[in-house]
Amino acid sequence: MKALKLAGVAIAAVIVVIALLLVIGVPSGFLTAQIQERVERETGYKLAINGGARIGLWPSLNITLNDVTLQHPADRDINRHFAAASIEADVTLASLWSGKPHITELVLIRPVANLPLRRERVRNANPPSKPATDKTAEAFSIEHISVTGGTIVLSNLRDRVERRIEALNADITIDSDRKVMLSGSARRDGHPLKFEIKATPPATSIERQNIPTEIRIDAPDLLPAPLTAKAEARLNGSVVMINSVTGALGDAAFNGWASVDLSSKPLVKLDLDFQKLAVATTRSPGSTAGQPWSSATIDVNGLNYIDLQVRMSAAELKIGDARFTPAAIDATLTSGVLKAQVSNVGAYEGNANGDLTLDVSTANPTYAMRADLAGVRALPLLQGLADFDRIDGKMQAKLSVRSSGTSQRAILSNMAGTAFVVFQDGAIKGLNVAQMIRSLTASTLSGWQESEEKATDLSQLSASFRIDKGQAQTTDLNLVGPLVKMTGAGTIDLGTKQIGFRVEPKLVMTTEGQGRASDPVGLGIPVMIAGPWGSPRIYPEMQGILDNPEAAYAKLKEMGKGLFGQNGAGLGAAIGNLLGGQPGAAGGQQGGAGGQAGTQPGSPLGGQLGETIGNLLQQGLSGLGQGQGQGGGRPSGQRSIPSRTSPAEAPTQAAPTEATPAEPAPPAPPSDTTAQQDSQPMNEVMRQLFNR
């Protein structure tokens, strides 16, 4: 009886122990040694299970490894290749008896994978000491893998560079037909990343066997649109060959091939052909005229850790709103030096050629760019690339610049090189240069006086620049249009967006554009353009006229007489041609057998307008406190400046019976009312000429 009681107690104790083991698991210190030995024997990596192992029996056989690390003994650049807070595996009991474990569920909690970044490629890099064999791959099978809270760290300890892909959550399923489905999400430098991969590996060895693969990647910070593609992947040692690639980047379909060599520093080769490729552009805070360039660091250091050989072509390429047809880009990236080249790119009825070199192998990256544009229509190109819609016409440009720096401001401030640009047979939209010149006689201008209704037709606008330390200097600025001509020189500070120019504007009394050298009539005073290039101050340089006002006035008076003829007799033809009317309507009727021009008394377009212009200019000088000019009366009662024409050269009056008035006495100084009357004829003419 006593023995029966002892047996009952023993059975109860066993039941309690079994129940506890089912709940809390079996302590399995002996199991860790077996697992560590198996991993090191098969892969050459050393596995450490720092938190111990546990075997659970309910609801199925479950093995848990805590605080796991994996390290290759020969690699000292990375402390731990792999680490995880815990690894849990559910295994069927039947598979254990057969010697081929079948894992129904494998869960990785907070895994961290460390991958090295190498600056130089290693030829014939050694593979892992004991790579996994086909026999090892067949030793077990997995149905489902789940990754929660994972991190991938890309680092180079010597360069103190580290990049992270965090918040990695992935789900991998492998069905009975060997179809692998991988999907997940992560964050790269704070930007979202989603991916999906489907593949069907062969039943035998995957070495040199085609693996049908489908991928989908959505990375808004890297790609302008989601990427989808199908390909035939093949593993050839450490090289992944990707053939028969077809896919789309958003709506842009493409085809081609690629390969990735993973033996040491990755080498990516890519050849893709697009039917239509659109690349979106975003403007930085420093892109507007009124804001300074950004000083934020442009991080291009990552180009040191990958080599590229890329060729991309497109029947139509859109960059922002600019369109190029066709386009081809060849690029190589080796040891941190990127070289890209475009040749014979179709651009708005013209073509473009150029190349770019970017060297990021040093702490201070250097840049070099060359571009050559010929016969390109300026408006759609500049509007599409830089949102600049103020100049239209056929454009030719040559650019060769170099710079260095890690920010927009540094790059622009360090720029050096040469540039030449010419626009022909076009217009400056939003600006009426001739009207601006006229406005300068009344006040200083602030800004470019932009208006959607204004425009300045141009026959040619050209300038060449020599750039040094961000200072672009020109001495041959030249603008030629139907009603205006301007030459000048000055400097553009690319780093601070400041401008300083001294220009010589002239009004051209012909609608033919070029005119002869004697045609233009100068303002008589150089004009300064200085300040921020988005809104500079524009004002006459008064020093020359204040030094010798009498000489300046005499010159202006002589120019006025040369333009309109003696006493303005030639103005009628000029105004008639400009306004599309008949010369007789503007300058008086033709009369007499000799065909001499007549005038209408009091008409602003009559033969005395040359004197009126001179009088107006003299009044402007008088307003500065200088001496007043002398003048004589006219039948209309307005002040006039005595003509240098001799009485014999005076034009014949239309009415021979009208007596020539006697020379009046010098008039009294003009009042405000008189000044307003003197300005009215000139205002009327200028308004008809330039308020187009």
DSSP string of 496-518?
TTEEEEEEEEEEE--SSSS--TT
* Model pLDDT for residues 472-489, shown as the tens digit of each residue: 999 999 998 887 888 999
Decide if pLDDT at 492 tops 50. yes
Q: How confident is the model at residue 543 (pLDDT cuts 50, 70, 90)?
A: low
Averaged over 136-152, what is the pLDDT?
A: 82
pTM above 0.85, yes or no: no
Backbone angles phi, psi at 105, to 5 degrees: -150, 125
Strands 53-56 and 26-27, bridge-based pairing: antiparallel
DSSP 3-state of 225: coil
Residues 569, 561: contact at Cβ < 8 Å? no
**Residue bearing the bigger pLDDT, 152 or 518:** 152
- For residue 526, what pLDDT band results from cuts at 50, 70 and 90? confident
| Of 95 and 108, the one with more pLDDT | 108
The encoded tokens of residue 239 equal 């090289």
| β pairing state of 520-522 and 527-532 | unpaired
Q: Which residues contact 20 (CB under 8 A, 6 or more apart)?
A: none
| Structural tokens at position 368 | 């070099």
Residue 238 has pLDDT above 50, yes or no: yes
Over residues 288-310, the mean pLDDT reads 87
The pLDDT value recorded for residue 429 is 87
Query: Does residue 646 have a pLDDT over 70?
Result: no
Q: Residue 401's closest CA among 387, 383, 418?
A: 418
Average pLDDT, the chain: 74
Q: List pLDDT tens digits, range 347-366.
A: 888 999 999 999 999 989 99
Per-residue pLDDT band for 453 (boundaries 50, 70, 90) equals: confident
Query: What pLDDT is recorded for position 559?
Result: 46
Q: Is the pLDDT of residue 145 over 80?
A: yes
- pLDDT > 50? residue 160: yes
How confident is the model over 671-681, as a mean pLDDT?
45
Distance CA 605, CA 572 (A): 7
Percentage helix, strand, coil for the chain under 3-state DSSP, each rounded to 5: 20, 45, 35
**Res. 518: pLDDT tops 70:** no
Going by C-alpha positions, the residue among 180, 115, 116 that lies closest to residue 145 is 180
* Bridge partners of residue 506, in order along the sequence: 485, 522
- The pLDDT, as a whole number, for residue 25 is 52
**Residues whose CB falls within 8 Å of the CB of residue 411, separated by 6 or more in sequence, listed in order:** 298, 367, 403, 404, 405
